[in-house]
Amino acid sequence: MISPSSYRTHPSPFESGLRSDGKRMTPQRKKVLSLFEEIGSGIHLSAEEVHSKLTISGEKVSLATIYRTLRLLVKMTFLNELDLSEGGNRFELLSHDHPDHHHLICIRCGRTEEFENNEVINAGKAAAENFGFKLLESSLNVRAVCPMCLNK
């Protein structure tokens, strides 16, 4: 008789990515990626926010490990790292439907909206090409004040 635990379940893309590189799956790594997958795309969290969200829901992962894991997840292209300025870098689930979006940030309250724009993508491509650079990524940050912060 085959016990339930002996079923060989498909390793997740995360797990197989790790394995193929001599790295290991750990509960901490699972928790960090799951957090992003549960809250979905369009949310931009700082390392501290990831830490406190996990802590609040009873999971204990040290801040050092969170930083290490975020770096790893960015390198593995599960997450995207954003430099929106003001209080630390932020991370978001890399959504394959909206890979190249940009950000509109309220400098007062931090509210962040996303938008897509092909001209911006093309502008980045064109600039890199003109100077003979190999393009990696281009990011447009629009700093502004949101309606709520405007009238008060």
> Which residues lie near DNA (CB under 7 A)?
15, 18-19, 22-29, 46-48, 60-65, 67-69, 71, 87-89
In the complex with DNA, the residue whose CB is nearer, 34 or 62, is 62
Residue among 68, 38, 63, 65 nearest 48 (CA): 63
Residue among 72, 62, 73, 68 nearest 36 (CA): 73
At its nearest, how many Å lie between Zn ion and the CB of residue 39?
20
Residues 18-47 that bind Mn ion (CB under 5 A): none
Cβ-proximal residues to 106 (8 Å cutoff; 6+ apart), any chain: 112, 144, 145, 146, 149
Indicate which of DNA, Zn ion, its own copies, none lies near residue 102 (CB less than 5 to 8 Å, by partner kind). its own copies
At its nearest, how many Å lie between DNA and the CB of residue 11?
9
